[in-house]
Structure 1
Amino acid sequence: MDTTSQKIAFLGLGSMGRPMARRLLDAGHPLTVWNRTAAKAAPLVEAGATLAANPADAVRDADVVITMLADPAAARAVAHEMVPALRPGTHWIDTSTIGPDAGRELAAMLPEGVTLTDAPVMGSVDRAATGDLLILAGGDTTPVAEILARLGTVTPCGGPGAGAALKLVLISAAIAGVAAVAESLTLAQSLGLPRELTLRTLGAGPLGGAVGRVLATGSHFPVALAAKDVALATTNAELPLLETVHRFLLTDPSLLTEDLAAVAR
C-alpha cells in the first residue's frame, strides 16, 4: 500500500531530526514540521514542508506524528502541548532516547484511538541522511511500517517500551566502549606508544567498533546527550562501570556540545 498520502508531523529538528524529516519529505509525504528554534526548519520549509507555530498546530491534521527530542523533559513538554490536539486514528512514533519509564508516561497521556510506538534509533546523522538507521521498535509497527522503512531497518523488540529499553542497553555499551578507547589511548601515551599504532591494534580486537566510532567523521552525538543516555541507564539498575563512565563524560564541560569522539582526543 502506498502511504505517501499520509500527512506526517515531525517535531524536533536537531541534528538527527532534520535528515530524518528530509527523507520523508523527499519520499513525497505531506510534511508539517515544528522545532523550538524555528530557524532550524528553514531548509525543510524551502523544500516544501509546512512550518507549524506550536506542537498542537503541527499535529492537528496529521495521520502520523514523529518526535525526535533531546530528553524526557523535552518529550513531556511537547506531549503536554500536542496530545490534546491528536485525532483518533493518529499513530505517534517516538524516536527519542528517553527510556521506558518516560515512554510509559507518554503512553498514559494518550486519548482513546491514538497509538504510540517507541522506536528509538541507533546511528548518527550520516546514517539518518541515507536511511540506514537501526530502528528499535516496541509495540505494533504494522500501521507505520512503510514510513519506518524509509528511515532504516526495523528490529521488532517486543511490546510497548521494549524498543526504548533495548536502546538504553545498546547505547550504553557503545558509549562505554568509546570511554574504554579513550582511557586506552591515555595509557598508551603514558607508555610512549604511538597513537596510530594503538588505534590500529585496538581496532583489530574486540573494541574495533568503538575505535571506528572514535575515528568517524560523519557523526554528531554530543557528549551531553551521551551523558544523558548513560544516566537513564543507571536509574534502572546498579551499574558501577556506567556510573564511572557518566562522571568521565562530564569531566570537561567544554566538550559537552562536541561529538562523543572528542573524549578520546
Structure 2
Amino acid sequence: MKVGFIGLGNMGLPMAASLAAAGHELTVWNRTESKAAPLKEKGARVARSPAEAARGAEVVFSMLADDAAVTSAVFGQDGLLAGLAPGAVHVSSSTLSVALSERLAEAHASAGQRYLAAPVFGRPTAAASKQLWVVAAGPKQDMDRCRPLLETLGRGLTVLGDRAPAANVVKLSGNFLIASMMEALAESFALTRKSGIEPKVFLEVFQSVFARAPIFEGYAQLIAEEKYSPAGFKMRLGLKDVELVLGAARTAEVPMPLASLVKDQFLGGVAQGHGDLDWSALGALVAERAGLKQGD
C-alpha cells in the first residue's frame, strides 16, 4: 500500500519503520529533515512538505506533538489537506484535543477525504518493538481498509465505533490514568524514602504485590531509579495532555479534581525547568518537596 507518514519524533520514527518493514511503499515528512535519514536508507522517499507526503498516498499517518503542530501540518500552506486525494484516508495517531479531532473529521469530509483517529498507548521502546496498543475510531469501511496497517504497529487494536473523536476521548482518559498513577507512585516513593526505606526495596514490594501491567511497573522503576532522562514522553507534553483531559471534562460537565491537581503538578515541574524531562519526573518534584535530594 502507498503510505505517507508525517512526524518522525520519538514515536513517529519507529511507527513509520514498522510500516516500512511490513513492505509498504513509504513517503515521509518531518520538520527536521535529517530525522528521516534512517527511513531513507531503507527505501522511503522523503517529502518536502506534508502535502507532498500525502500526494499519491492511499493512507497518510500523522504523529505530531500537539494541536498546534497538527493544525500547521494539516491546514497550513502545503498542508496534508491540500495534498490528500479524494477517498484517501488521514489516520491521526497524535494525542489531540477532542475539538481538533472533530474539526479534522469535518474538514476531510468536506474535501471528499476520509479520516480515522487512531492514537496509541506505549512508549518509544514499545513502538520500536511493535508492542503499542492502538485505539481507533471512524467509519467502518475506512477502518476495514486501514486495519492491516494499524495491526502492524502494535500488539493489539481496540475499535471504538464510527465517530472518530471517541478514540481521542479514550486516549486522553488513558493518559490521565497514567498521570494519576505516577503521582501516586511519586508520593509513595517519597514517603518510603523519607522513612529510611531504600527505593529498590519498595520497588521489589511494588513489583511483587502491585505490578501486573508493564506501564505501571515501568514508571515505578523510573521513579525508583530516578531515571528521568532521556525522556520517553516529556513532562510538558504530559501537561498538555492533562489540560486536554480537563477541556474534555468541561465540555462533558464532568468534575475531575484529581486531574486539576495533576495538572498543577506538571505545571510546577515545567515552571521549574523540568519540561523536557520524562513526565515520570513527578517523582523528583514530590521528593524535593519532601526534603529529599536526588540519589539520597
2:23 to 20, 28, 45: 28
**Structure 1 residues 87 and 62: CA distance shift in structure 2, 3 A:** same
- Is the 8 Å Cα contact of residues 124 and 219 (structure 1) preserved in structure 2? no
Aligned counterpart, 2:291: none
* Cα distance in 2 for residues equivalent to 1:124 and 1:22: 15
Which TM-score applies when normalising by structure 2?
0.82
* Cα distance in 2 for residues equivalent to 1:27 and 1:145: 13
2:235 counterpart of 1:223: yes
Aligned counterpart, 2:67: 72
- SS of the aligned residue for 2:136 comes to strand
2:181 to 177, 192, 201: 177
* Cα distance in 2 for residues equivalent to 1:117 and 1:178: 30
* Cα distance in 2 for residues equivalent to 1:219 and 1:235: 25
Measure how far apart 1:207 and its partner are. Answer: 6.4
Which TM-score applies when normalising by structure 1?
0.92
2:191 counterpart of 1:187: yes
Which piece of structure 1 moves more, 206-215 or 20-29?
206-215
Measure how far apart 1:219 and its partner are. Answer: 7.5
Measure how far apart 1:259 and its partner are. Answer: 1.9
Consecutive aligned runs of 4 or more in structure 1 exceeding 3 Å deviation:
202-209, 216-219
- SS of the aligned residue for 2:90 comes to strand
**Structure 1 residues 67 and 242: CA distance shift in structure 2, 3 A:** same
Measure how far apart 1:102 and its partner are. Answer: 1.1
Measure how far apart 1:184 and its partner are. Answer: 1.3
Aligned counterpart, 1:258: 277
**Structure 1 residues 208 and 175: CA distance shift in structure 2, 3 A:** farther
* Cα distance in 2 for residues equivalent to 1:245 and 1:51: 39
- SS of the aligned residue for 1:163 comes to helix
Aligned counterpart, 1:7: 2
Aligned counterpart, 1:90: 88
1:159 to 140, 159, 162: 162
* Cα distance in 1 for residues equivalent to 2:172 and 2:158: 15
- SS of the aligned residue for 2:116 comes to strand
Q: What amino acid does structure 1 have at the position aligned with 2:196?
A: G
Q: What amino acid does structure 1 have at the position aligned with 2:12?
A: G
1:235 to 247, 261, 267: 247
2:101 counterpart of 1:103: yes
Q: Which runs of 5+ in 1 are unaligned?
A: 1-5
Q: What amino acid does structure 2 have at the position aligned with 1:115?
A: R
Measure how far apart 1:193 and its partner are. Answer: 2.1
Which piece of structure 1 moves more, 14-23 or 161-170?
161-170
RMSD: 1.9
* Cα distance in 2 for residues equivalent to 1:77 and 1:112: 17
Measure how far apart 1:208 and its partner are. Answer: 5.8
Which piece of structure 1 moves more, 200-209 or 22-31?
200-209
